[in-house]
Structures are given as C-alpha cells and as structure tokens.
Amino acid sequence: MAMKAADIEKFIKEAFPDAQVEIRDLAGDENHYAATVKSAAFKGKSRVAQHQMVYAALKGNMGGVLHALQLNTGALD
C-alpha cells in the first residue's frame, strides 16, 4: 500500500492551515517519505507532541497505509 505525497500534504494542511510543508519521496516507491512541517501550532510544544500532532493529522494512516514518514517539525512565529 502506498500514499501520494499530495495526499499527505493535504491531510497536514487541513490540520495546520498555516503550515509550510515539504515532502520528499525518499525511495521513489510512494511508501518512504520525509516531511518537514513548520507551523505556528507547534510553538511551545515538545518534539514528541509536535510529531503526535502530525500523526493525528494523518488520521491513522501513519503506521498503516503509510509505512515510513521521517518527520522534521518546527515552530513558526
């Protein structure tokens, strides 16, 4: 199973409308991605909390349809 980069971005933008999202398909197999997500919503949150917020935005697809998503999150002012 796989997921399109555009779908991942859509889920993230729905949850964080201000987010700057950059997604790379690491292996070209639509299954191993790296994403950089920056949003004001992450301000003051721990890394674990930031990643959990992104996983929540993906609505259960992470770990299921989507096998691997390397995450790099950061807060926007």
Partner 1 sequence: MSDVQTRIAGDVSANDVLLFMKGTPVFPQCGFSAMAVQILNHVGVKFKAIDVLSDPEIREGIKTFSNWPTIPQLYVKGEFVGGADIMREMFEGGELKPFLAEKGVAVEDA
Q: Is 15 helix (H, G, I), strand (E, B) or coil?
A: helix
| Least CB distance to partner 1 at residue 9 (A) | 18
Q: Is 8 helix (H, G, I), strand (E, B) or coil?
A: helix
Nearer to partner 1, 9 or 36 (CB): 36
Closest CA to 8 of 52, 63, 61: 61
Residues that bind partner 1 in the complex, under the rule CB under 8 A: 47-48, 51-52, 55, 60, 62-64, 68, 70-72
Element holding 74 (H helix, E strand): strand 68-75
Nearer to partner 1, 40 or 68 (CB): 68
Nearer to partner 1, 7 or 55 (CB): 55
